[in-house]
């Protein structure tokens, strides 16, 4: 069916600001990214903007590349920088903002990576939107449009006065103090947080040419109320906010005129205060529309009510994903995952009884205070779960713990690859004995994620070399050797792995969040004291 726009578009105008909204991967992936599409919709509906979507596989453009005023990137995962460089290279735009001349479009980014710790990538961008930037975009683009005749530096200085806008080129890194400064003083910028009051973010464009074909995605909530100590979502998107039930239903009613595929998006969908009413509505709709499908982005074991379970099965979802993290109740208390083994088993039983065919369980290895006994507890739990749910498809997916900025565990040590591989080998062997399939995130890539999550501006030249060398795991390793040999970075493990003192100034500390660093430190101490 091609593309169906669920809003009224406007014609292009020669007098408008020309904007490219870019997703750092192929279009098939980008057209499933709700945040990216929402920013594009906001720009596309603005009477003063000509907006176009750009992907790594874009070959032709509606807006002449020479006439683009603004190029914005959605930055959701650390490795997205590879796609960003690919797009910049395709259109002959320098990777480093300081190398761009007058007439070059302003380059900016928004999304969870740069809102968490932008510093390894800061030099790529002329400015960065921190937080819920989709609702700041009009103020920003109006400012750029009204100052179009001024120099890049003048425009950026004006933009820096807008709350939630970070202009890296205006700051300097004071190596002695270990912090960013502006005019010799410590620099801070406050992340923008939208209340979502009266708003409900939904898919603006339906298409078959994407991973979630013709699926209408509804963001039912933002953030997470559970506050697991390792989880960036709980703290970066603090506070937890939900969308109005009536508004959600109204959006779905309209979408059903175009598609019968609905998805609820949120880190804690089951925590929505009216999730049962929303599911009951969809269940009743399925009586009228037999081919109606409903899926959810993720579920917590304590958020699967009878209404949620029966509705998902009725609407075609037969497999669920649940995060267990660890098989140890005591370790789960440390990470503030308020779920017990018994509750988890009861949830799996409920899913099976309602007609689910299987469940994939996510676990995390290398968590703070973890012991070999905790790893064994995971195996024992899997054995019990398998025994109690015969002929039910149970599999596990594992990753290793990565300390994330703005979380209580941002200070914690990351376990080295050799130690993690030993633990994963043990899990592989023991899970095979009980007939449970597992998948494991490569520890080498988890190391890279930790490096990019915890590093600062010293990594910029490194990531450029990684890209120029092919962007694979071998490129990351060879670039490390080169940088160490040349004396540019002496110790990558210190950045990625080492435990940090509470007093250490981290690269991201200049970003002011709802929770202060002092509060995060206090929360970390309380969690660690549970063992």
pLDDT tier for residue 111 given thresholds of 50, 70 and 90:
very high
Q: Is the pLDDT of residue 520 over 80?
A: yes
Say which residues have a Cβ less than 8 Å from residue 144's Cβ, sequence separation at least 6: 17, 69, 70, 106, 155, 159
Is the pLDDT at 16 greater than 70? The verdict is: yes
Instruction: Give me the mean pLDDT over the 471-479 stretch.
Output: 96
Residues 137-142: what's their mean pLDDT?
A: 94
Rounded Cα distance between 433 and 383, Å, is 9
Mean pLDDT computed over every residue of the chain: 95
CB 463 within 8 A of CB 475: no
Determine which helix (DSSP H) or strand (DSSP E) holds 229, and give its type and residue range.
none
Q: Which pLDDT score is estimated for 1?
A: 56
Amino acid 257: pLDDT:
97
Residue 476 has pLDDT above 70, yes or no: yes
DSSP single-letter state for residue 240:
P
Buried b / exposed e along 261-297 (16+ C-beta atoms within 10 A): bbbbbbbbbbbbebbeebbebbbebbeeeeebbbbbb
Token pair belonging to 187: 């620099």
**pLDDT for residue 226:** 87
Across 318-335, b (16+ Cβ under 10 Å) vs e yields eebebbbbbbbbebbebb
Contact 434, 427 (CB under 8 A): no
What percent of the chain has a predicted confidence (pLDDT) above 70? Answer: 100
Q: How much is the pLDDT for 199?
A: 86
Tens digit of each residue's pLDDT (9 = 90 or more) over 264-301: 999 889 999 999 999 999 999 999 999 999 999 878 99
Instruction: Retrieve residue 228's tokens.
Output: 């697991």
Contact 286/317 with Cβ under 8 angstroms?
Answer: no
Place of tokens 């065919």: 357
Query: What SS3 string covers 376-427?
Result: HHHHHHHHHHHHHCCCCEEEEEEEECCCCCCCHHHHCCCCCHHHHHHHHHHH
What value does the mean pLDDT take over residues 346-367?
96
Q: Give the whole-angstrom CA distance, residue 517 versus residue 503.
A: 10
pLDDT score at 233: 86
Does residue 134 have a pLDDT over 80?
A: no
List beta partners, residue 17.
49
pLDDT at 45 over 60: yes
pLDDT of residue 524: 96
What pLDDT is recorded for position 114? 96
d(CA 313, CA 294): 9
Question: Would you tell me how many other CB atoms lie within 10 Å of the CB of residue 125?
Answer: 25
Rounded to 5 degrees, what are φ and ψ at 356?
-65, 150
* Pair 71, 20: CB distance under 8 Å: yes
- The pLDDT assigned to 177 comes to 84
Give all domains of the chain, ordered by start, each with its CATH number.
Answer: 8-190 (3.40.50)
- The DSSP line for 45-108 is T-TTEEEEEE-TT----SS-GGG--EEEEE--SGGGHHHHHHHHHHTT--SSGGGPPTTSPEEE
* pLDDT tens column, 234-245: 888 888 899 999
Please give the average per-residue pLDDT across 79-100, as a whole number: 98
pTM of the model: 0.95
pLDDT digits (tens, 9 = 90+) for 117-133: 999 999 999 999 999 87
Distances (CA, A) of 247 to 136, 182, 251, 315, 516: 22, 43, 6, 21, 33
Does residue 19 sit in helix, strand or coil?
A: strand
């Amino acid at each position: 069916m091609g593309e169906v726009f669920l809003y009224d578009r406007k014609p292009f105008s020669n007098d408008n600001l020309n904007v490219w909204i870019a997703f750092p991967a192929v279009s098939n992936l980008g057209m499933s990214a709700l945040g990216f599409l929402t920013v594009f919709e906001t720009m596309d509906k603005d009477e003063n903007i000509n907006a176009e979507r750009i992907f790594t596989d874009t070959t032709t453009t509606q807006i002449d590349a020479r006439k683009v005023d603004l190029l914005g990137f959605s930055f959701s995962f650390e490795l997205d920088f590879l796609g960003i460089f690919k797009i910049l290279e395709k259109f002959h735009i320098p990777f480093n903002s300081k190398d761009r001349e007058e007439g070059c479009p302003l380059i900016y980014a928004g999304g969870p990576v740069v809102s968490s710790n932008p510093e390894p990538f800061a030099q790529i961008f002329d400015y960065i939107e921190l937080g819920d930037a989709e609702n700041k975009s009009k103020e920003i683009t109006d400012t750029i449009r009204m100052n179009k005749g001024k120099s890049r530096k003048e425009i950026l200085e004006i933009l820096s006065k807008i709350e939630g806008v970070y202009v890296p080129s205006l700051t300097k890194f004071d190596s002695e103090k270990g912090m960013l400064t502006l005019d010799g003083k410590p620099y801070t910028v406050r992340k923008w947080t939208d209340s979502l009051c009266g708003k409900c973010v939904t898919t603006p464009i339906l298409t078959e040419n994407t991973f979630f074909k013709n699926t209408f995605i509804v963001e039912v909530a933002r953030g997470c109320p559970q506050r697991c100590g390792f989880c960036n979502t709980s703290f970066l998107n603090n506070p937890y906010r939900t969308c109005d039930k009536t508004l959600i239903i109204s959006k779905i009613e309209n979408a059903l005129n175009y598609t019968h595929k609905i998805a609820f998006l949120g880190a804690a969908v089951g925590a929505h205060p009216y999730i049962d009413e929303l599911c009951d509505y969809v269940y009743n709709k399925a009586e009228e529309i037999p081919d109606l499908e409903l899926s959810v982005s993720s579920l917590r074991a304590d958020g699967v009510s009878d209404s949620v379970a029966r509705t998902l099965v009725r609407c075609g979802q037969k497999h669920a994903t649940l995060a267990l993290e660890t098989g140890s109740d005591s370790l789960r208390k440390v990470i503030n995952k308020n779920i017990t083994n018994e509750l988890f088993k009861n949830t799996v039983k409920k899913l099976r009884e309602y007609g689910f065919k299987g469940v994939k369980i996510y676990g995390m290895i290398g968590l703070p205070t973890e012991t070999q006994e905790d790893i064994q507890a995971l195996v024992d739990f899997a054995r019990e779960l398998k025994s109690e749910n015969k002929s039910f498809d149970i599999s596990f997916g594992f990753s290793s713990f990565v300390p994330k900025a703005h979380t209580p565990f941002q200070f914690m040590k990351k376990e080295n690859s050799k130690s993690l591989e030993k633990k994963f080998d043990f899990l592989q062997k023991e899970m095979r004995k009980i007939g449970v399939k597992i998948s494991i995130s490569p520890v080498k890539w988890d190391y890279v994620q930790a490096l990019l999550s915890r590093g600062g501006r010293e990594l910029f030249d490194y990531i450029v070399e990684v890209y120029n060398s092919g962007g694979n795991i071998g490129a990351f390793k060879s670039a490390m050797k080169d940088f160490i040999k040349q004396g540019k970075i002496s110790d990558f493990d210190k950045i990625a792995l080492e435990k940090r003192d509470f007093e250490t100034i981290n690269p991201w500390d200049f970003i002011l969040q709802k929770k202060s660093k002092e509060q995060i430190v206090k929360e970390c101490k309380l969690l660690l004291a549970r063992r």
